[in-house]
Structure 1
Amino acid sequence: MHCLRWSIVLVVFATLFSCVAVSAGEVCTVDDFERPVQNALAGYRNPFQAAPSSCTARRLPEAARGTDGRGLRLVANREVRGFCGYWLHLFDFKTREPRFFDATRFSYMSFWVRGERGGERFAVKLADRNWAMKEDSISVGDVDVLLPGGVTTNWQRVTVPLGADPRLKWSELAGVTFDFNMPGQYVVHLDDVYFHQSADDPAPANPDAATQSSRTPSPPRAMWIWNTEPLLVDAAQRNQLWEFCDQHRIDTLWIQLLYESRPESRQSGTVGHDDENPATPRRLRYEVQWQSVLREAHRRGIKVHGLDGLPEWALREFHSIPLSIVDCVITFNQ
């Protein structure tokens, strides 16, 4: 049976990511670009540019190092004027007290790169807390120097030695920057950014054969839908929802419930929370459509929760309202 999970929400908040670095031995994965928004250190990432130079970034399956998962595709047009590149944070800048990355226990940072044509050039830069406050970073080497033979059309690992530059506080690293600092048009693919202790510590050499335990686990991906009626009455809207969930790997939906008074309880049913009699029994609206939504969601492995709530429901005199809605959901599930 496809059941609707019920949650009474008095204070609603969503946490899409709450994750820490995944460490195996002396290897710490920072970003494998599987997560759409934040990496394993909860850091955000984004291209940067100043006209007329430009840079775009996309996470794509064809940019991955193996046939499974996603990698990062950067398309840069570096003019003589302006600048462009891509930054990757090692901390969550939205928290009140950011936790910067302590790299003192690691000797190297590595990532994998592949060029569209070969010969692509960019500088690898690092920033600590102070440099990040200035929105700047320190170059630790050009990729064609760090990588013997330069970038080619094959995947290669770039290894950056750490700890040598006294301008950086290595216990408070804040970000990695890929700076296209030479004029030209570039298309590069990046994957598997990580810190490690030994020069021989690689990311999984064969991503296709890597076990699930050796990869960074995907965090839950949830979405709140508050405008429910168009979704229930319009099949095209539902198809767009499923496509969006597939694209963004959404595995949990919190959907605002629609309900009304039972006809036998009142002459005219009302929708919402303004019922004159809080104890009035309720029933879900669009029960048949709900069944269709649940059937398709569960076929796709997506959990569905019914969502509703008001702050005043925490008061004893209003407890009968959420309890009656819970009864309604139980009846629907039966």
Structure 2
Amino acid sequence: MLAPTPSADTIGWHLRHHHQVMVSRATINRVLGRAGAVTPEPSKRPKSSYIRFEAEQPNECWQSDFTHYRLTRPDGTSGADTEIITWLDDCSRYALSVTVHWRVTGPIVLARFRETVAAHGIPASTLTDNGMVFTTRFSGGKGGRNHLEHALRELNITQKNGKPNHPQTQGKVERFQQTMKKWLHAQPAQPTTITELQTLLDAFVAEYNQRRPHRSLPHQATPATIYTTRPKATPSTDRSTDWRASHFPDCGPHTVPSGKENWWWREGRARSRRSFARRRLGWWSRAAAELPMSRVKSGSVRPLWAIG
């Protein structure tokens, strides 16, 4: 099986560990450029402008997401679409589970999660986006929690969700999926069935976990080395607070407890009432609505929108 051209860091790691040859990254990049093995990319935003976060122990946080990949018909044309769901350990980047399905649904997410827990233990927390297969708490409906959310609470697992339209919060699993799809596209024989695609995914996971050095890990170790040699985190028994991951622009997630979240909800309701007053009850209501809420609550001022 073929793989995309490895990066200069990866080539340098293999030269250093398998051939005892030290070559600088700049030299490797020059050689790759002359050979036409790399495609120049425009300048990217400097990594120093991002605030990174990383779990300290394996199983401290599992990230999950799913992506799409199309099968290929026997005549070489594009075939049916499939969806690949991944569970990735945040600390070690170890790919815990990568499976392909015709469509990722809530029951499939729950089944894959339970299989992963049976194989690798119970994580302390999970981090996903706000897709309906992961959470329904913030969808605005009255359906309550889905099956995955109930399972997480039963196991005392803290559930974290990134802010919508900000995939950087789940950046590790997003980057893993990018690497995975690039590897799949590089294969000379593209999968024509979902079984063939799963076989390719299993081969990629073995390569990624066991043999491919990871630039973000200490000494560019493999994910399996970090995951298997460090002590594992376990869930907390304290369920007095429920957490949701929030973030500041271009930063990693910062946990916000439910009490603060409820404060924002109450404040939003108060602002909505003031906005309604400004639109419907005229200048006096607008002026009254701008008064401090403490004076309104104390009874010293009673704006029109608070009457009745």
Q: TM-score, normalised by structure 2?
A: 0.28
Task: Choose between structure 1 and 2 for higher RCO, CA contacts under 8 A separated by at least 6 residues.
Answer: 1
Higher strand share: 1
Q: TM-score, normalised by structure 1?
A: 0.26
